[in-house]
């Protein structure tokens, strides 16, 4: 997609995945005509599906080669999950709203996306039983990386997350080296919904 190139995405595997997975299959039916716009689109519970260029930049920062086990926090309607499934070996995704998660599962099934598991729960707690993860993508904002995600990231793993108050933050890439998660680079300023949970913001 042109908007992803303009935003600076250079990884050809990521660009091919964006081209291969139709976003129109992962937005509310009444918004299909807007699916090719590079804009967030509303989904239930005052949430949104992230705009394509931002999704692609965040995924690019994970540096996926195809062999990884990935954890995504904040499934939304599943487009980012489907892209991750294109680019990694195994994808686990956690969504706090059961109805949103169910729609994501249907969207992924309809698009023949395998190797993905959508779990309903509090993503700030991660998924200890499936850890460690080679890459973690958090698609909602908090002021710091939740501690369980730090411990569930494999050594040499990458974690990408918007850091800030919710509504105005910076997407940051972290890497784990010898047990420590280190801020590697700022990817892009962004506006995200809040990460709500035990290690995030209190339930609204
Ligand atoms: C920006 S939206 C959707 C992002 C989605 N990956 C996409 O590309 O469209 C973020 C999602 O995170 C979910 N969320 C917020 N806090 C969460 C938590 N603690 N655990 C799981 N999901 C959470 C919201 O319900 C929302 O669906």
Q: How far apart are CA 185 and CA 195, in angstroms?
A: 21
- Give the number of the atom of ligand 1 that is nearest the alpha carbon of residue 94: 21
Helix (H) or strand (E) holding 9: none
Q: 111 lies in a domain? A: yes
Quick check: is 90 in a domain?
Answer: yes
pLDDT digit string, tens, across residues 173-204: 999 999 999 999 999 999 999 999 999 999 86
Q: Would the CB of 50 count as within 6 Å of ligand 1?
A: yes
User: 62 — phi, psi (to 5°)?
Assistant: -75, -15
Query: Distance between CA 121 and CA 94 in Å, rounded?
Result: 6
Q: pLDDT, tens digit, for every residue of 36-45?
A: 999 999 999 9
Q: Is the pTM of this model over 0.85?
A: yes
Helix (H) or strand (E) holding 4: helix 2-7
Among the atoms of ligand 1, which is closest to the Cα of residue 192?
1
Per residue of the chain (204 residues), what is the pLDDT tens digit?
789 888 899 999 999 999 999 999 999 999 999 999 999 999 999 999 999 999 999 999 999 999 999 999 999 999 999 999 999 999 999 999 999 999 999 999 999 887 899 999 999 999 999 999 999 999 999 999 999 999 999 999 999 999 998 778 999 999 999 999 999 999 999 999 999 999 999 986
Structure tokens at 89: 């070996």
Residue 119 lies in a domain: yes
Our answer on whether the CB atom of 200 is closer than 6 Å to any ligand 1 atom is yes
| Share of the chain residues as helix, strand and coil, in percent rounded to the nearest 5 | 35, 30, 35
The number of distinct structural domains making up the chain is: 1
Domain enclosing residue 46, as ranges: 2-190
Whether the upstream peptide bond of residue 99 has omega within 30° of 0, thus cis, is no
Note the pLDDT of residue 204.
64
Ligand 1 neighbourhood includes 197 CB (under 6 angstroms): yes
Residue in this structure with the two tokens 């939740």, named with its chain if needed: 146
The CB of 124 under 6 Å from ligand 1? The reply is yes
CB 80 near ligand 1, within 6 Å: yes
Find out whether the beta carbon of 137 lies less than 6 Å from any atom of ligand 1: no
The CATH number of whichever domain residue 185 belongs to comes to 3.40.50.150
Ligand 1, from 96, 164, 169: best to mutate by most atoms within 8 Å of Cβ? 96
| Residue 127 in domain | yes
Residue 201 in domain: no
- Evaluate whether residue 197 is within a structural domain: no
pLDDT of residue 1: 72
| Contact criterion met (CB below 8 Å) for 79 and 53 | no
Decide if 195 is inside a domain. Answer: no
What dihedral angle (degrees, nearest 10) is formed by the CA atoms of 146, 130, 73, 81? 160
The answer to whether residue 123 is domain-embedded is yes
């Amino acid at each position: 997609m042109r908007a992803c190139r303009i935003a600076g995405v250079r990884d050809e595997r990521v660009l091919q995945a964006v081209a291969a997975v139709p976003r129109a299959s992962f937005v509310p039916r009444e918004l299909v005509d807007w699916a090719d716009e590079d804009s967030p689109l509303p989904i239930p519970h005052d949430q949104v599906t992230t705009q394509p260029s931002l999704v692609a930049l965040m995924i690019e920062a994970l540096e996926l080669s195809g062999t990884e086990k990935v954890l995504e926090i904040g499934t939304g309607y599943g487009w980012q999950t489907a892209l991750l499934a294109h680019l990694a070996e195994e994808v686990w995704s956690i969504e706090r709203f059961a109805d949103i998660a169910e729609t994501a599962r249907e969207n992924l099934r309809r698009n023949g996306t395998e190797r993905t598991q959508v779990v309903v729960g509090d993503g700030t707690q991660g998924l200890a039983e499936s850890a460690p993860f080679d890459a973690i993508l958090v698609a909602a904002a908090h002021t710091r990386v939740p501690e369980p995600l730090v411990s569930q990231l494999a050594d040499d793993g990458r974690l990408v997350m918007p850091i800030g108050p919710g509504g105005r933050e910076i997407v940051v890439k972290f890497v784990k080296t010898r047990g420590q998660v280190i801020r590697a680079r700022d990817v892009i300023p962004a506006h995200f919904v809040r990460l709500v949970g035990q290690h995030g913001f209190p339930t609204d």
